[in-house]
Amino acid sequence: MIDYILHLTCLVFITSGMLAGQQLLFFDGGLLCLGTAAFYAIGAYSSAVLSKYFECPVLLSIFFTTLLIIFIIISIGIPLLKYLKDDFFALATLGLSQTTYVTLRAIAPGRSSGMAGIPEIHTSLTKYISPTIDSLFICIIFTCICFTIIYKIRKLRVGILIKACRNDENALVALGHRPLILKLEVFSIAGCFAGIAGSIHAHYLGAVEPHMASISQTILFLCGTILSGKKYILGTFIGAAFLIVIPEVLQRIFIAKWGVMWQIFPIVQICYGILIVCVTIIIFSKFNTKVHK
């Protein structure tokens, strides 16, 4: 039981690290990215392939994965952010997500069934403590790094500029700043966090599957981002807990009470849908209409 709780905690930490980037992108940058699942899956697959087939050390493969994600973001992010805004940007990133999903299913190792036997990630402490606690330690370090970066960005001048860019791009241009660079920075940070989270997830579980880039996964991440709230970085724990813990709890309740499985997924999804609608309306009801219009 303790191992199971520790396993869920690891997943919560990985997800909250990723959601910290999404929080910055969505609430501070005002960019709705539906391609998070794509970066997550690309991170997981590339790191898995590097460490399994090229026998690259795990940390080095995570580093190369980050470089790959940055390359992808710069190559597609510049035209996307230059020409598209709001809903159109969101839908283009949804296209990216779906394209990644289809590509992974068709040409990635293991095709639609995914890959297993990926080397696990461990520290030198693994000789003294159990592997699960060791993994938890790595997940905590990852989350702390993510939180520190986001916290620092928000405190620095660039954080204020990012918010200003969300509020009025034209005013920012008039003041001599370049909104494209700012947006690209936020997009890169969020994408890198998603990619690294995907890599750690792959090495922690030892398996990856194309479903990581699917639309349902994208919607789950969106749900987590909304539930994280706009103000506090620790809110990402709430978002991550909803994504990881609630389905598990509901599953246990259903099995214990009715012994049935098939209704769990739609009920969980309906709960997510209601939460998305309610929380979005509550959060954005406080936004100043005149400024954002």
Residues that bind another protein (CB under 8 A): 26, 30, 32, 79-80, 83-84, 86-88, 90-92, 94-96, 98-99, 102-103, 105-107, 215, 219, 222, 226, 262-263, 265-267, 269-270, 272-277, 280-281, 283-285, 287, 289, 292
Could you give the CA distance from residue 238 to residue 139 in angstroms, rounded to a whole number?
16
- To the nearest whole angstrom, how small is the minimum distance from the Cβ of residue 107 to another protein? 7
Could you give the CA distance from residue 194 to residue 91 in angstroms, rounded to a whole number?
18
**Nearer to another protein by C-beta: 151 or 284?**
284
Tokens encoding 84: 């598209």
- To the nearest whole angstrom, how small is the minimum distance from the Cβ of residue 97 to another protein? 9
- To the nearest whole angstrom, how small is the minimum distance from the Cβ of residue 204 to another protein? 28
**Nearer to another protein by C-beta: 42 or 58?**
42
**Nearer to another protein by C-beta: 98 or 143?**
98
**Nearer to another protein by C-beta: 231 or 292?**
292
- To the nearest whole angstrom, how small is the minimum distance from the Cβ of residue 260 to another protein? 12
Residue 94 one-letter amino acid = L
Tokens encoding 153: 């960005």
Q: Which of 192, 216, 186 is nearest to 40 (CA)?
A: 192
Could you give the CA distance from residue 224 to residue 208 in angstroms, rounded to a whole number?
21
The vertex-92 CA angle with 210 and 274, nearest 5°, equals: 75
Query: Which residues sit opposite 115 in a β-bridge?
Result: 208
**Nearer to another protein by C-beta: 158 or 283?**
283
- Contact between residue 292 and residue 163 where contact means Cβ atoms under 8 Å apart: no
- To the nearest whole angstrom, how small is the minimum distance from the Cβ of residue 80 to another protein? 8
Give the DSSP letter string of 148-175: HHHHHHHHSHHHHHHHHHHH-HHHHHHT
- To the nearest whole angstrom, how small is the minimum distance from the Cβ of residue 287 to another protein? 5
Give the relative orientation of helices 179-205 and 58-83 as an angle to the nearest 10 degrees: 150
**Nearer to another protein by C-beta: 119 or 235?**
235
